[in-house]
Structure 1
C-alpha cells in the first residue's frame, strides 16, 4: 500500500532573479519543484535583449514574474503574501534597498524564511580594512533590521 500523503513545496520569491546569481537561484528553485516567483524591474525600451530572453525562458518554466519597483510597497506586500520564502539576490549597489523588502515582510507577516543578499563573508565576524568595512556596515544594518523585525533568516 502506498502512502497518499503529499508534501507541499515552499513557494519562493526571488528579488534580483534576472541578475547574474539570481538566474541560477531561479533555475535551482524550479528544478527542486518549488513554485517560483521573480520580482523584476518592469520591461522598458532600456531592457536588454538578454533580459527579455531570460523573461521568456522563465515564463516557459512556469516562473511567475512580477514586474515592479522596490519602492512599490503595496505591490511588495501583496506578492510576499503569496509566498513562503523570500530570497534577495540584489547586487551590492542595491544592498540597502533590502530595507524595503524587510518592511514589506513585516507587514505581510507570513514569511517562514528570508535569505538576504550575502556576498561571501559573515559581516559580524571579520575586521576588514576601511573600504570593505564600509560595505560590511551596510550588511550589518540590514542584519540588525531583520533581527529587530523578528524575521526568520538565513
Structure 2
C-alpha cells in the first residue's frame, strides 16, 4: 500500500522530527501531510510550525486524549505515523482504536522505533517495552480483525542514546567521558549489537 495522505503524531519530538524531515524531502510524493500537535507545542514552537506551513505541512492543533479532535484529524488521512515518546506510548492505544474505526485510515505505524521488544525475554521487563507490548497486543489481537494494516519499524537502539547518559536513565547505558564511566548493556562476555542513528 502506498501512503498518500499522512498524519504524524509527535512530529516535533526526538524521533518524529527526523521522520518529518524525511517526509519533507519527498513532500511532492504525497497529497496531504499533516502533523497533530498540542496547543503548548504550537505556542512554544510557533516559528518552526510556521516554517512547516510554508512547506505545505498542515498543522492540526489538539489534544491526543480528545477523541473528537483525533477523529476530525483522521478525516481524509490514509496513513498514521506515531512518534510519541517513551513516556506516552500507551496513549497510542486509543489512537489505534480510532484509526480502526475510521473509514479513511488504512495503515498505522506505532511508535516502535529503537530496540526490538520481541528480541529477548528480558526486554519485556523494561518499562517502555511493557507499554509497547500493550500496543502490540491491541494491534495483533484486537485490531488485526479490522481492515487497518500496521507496520512496525524496528531500527535497533539509537547510537545517540549511548553517546552520553540520559538524565534519569543512566542504567539504560551510555558514556560519561569526563567522569571516565561507561554503562554497557547486555550479558557478560562477547556480544554483538547493531545501532542506527536517529536520522537514518
TM bucket by the smaller chain?
Answer: 0.7 to 0.9
User: 1:128 Cα deviation (Å)?
Assistant: 2.5
Question: 1:77 matched to which residue of 2?
Answer: 71
Question: 1:105 matched to which residue of 2?
Answer: 99
Deviation string, structure 1 residues 25-81 (Cα, Å, up to 9, x no partner): 22322322222100000147x943xx2221111111010000000111112112213
Distance, in Å, in 2 between the alignment partners of 1:140 and 1:58 is 33
- Select the residue among 110, 121, 145 that pairs with 2:138: 145
Q: SS where residue 122 of structure 2 aligns?
A: coil
1:135 and 2:128 correspond: yes
Greater RCO (Cα-Cα under 8 Å, separation 6 or more):
1
How many residues are aligned here?
143
- Select the residue among 20, 24, 27 that pairs with 2:14: 20
Deviation string, structure 1 residues 75-132 (Cα, Å, up to 9, x no partner): 2112213211100011111100101211210221332211100131221222236752
- State TM-score, norm by structure 2: 0.65
- State TM-score, norm by structure 1: 0.82
Distance, in Å, in 2 between the alignment partners of 1:141 and 1:15 is 18
1:125 and 2:122 correspond: no
Structure 2 unaligned spans of 5+: 152-200
1:31 and 2:25 correspond: yes
Structure 1 unaligned spans of 5+: 1-7
Larger radius of gyration: 2
Report the CA distance shift for 1:90/1:146 in structure 2 as closer, same or farther (over 3 A).
same
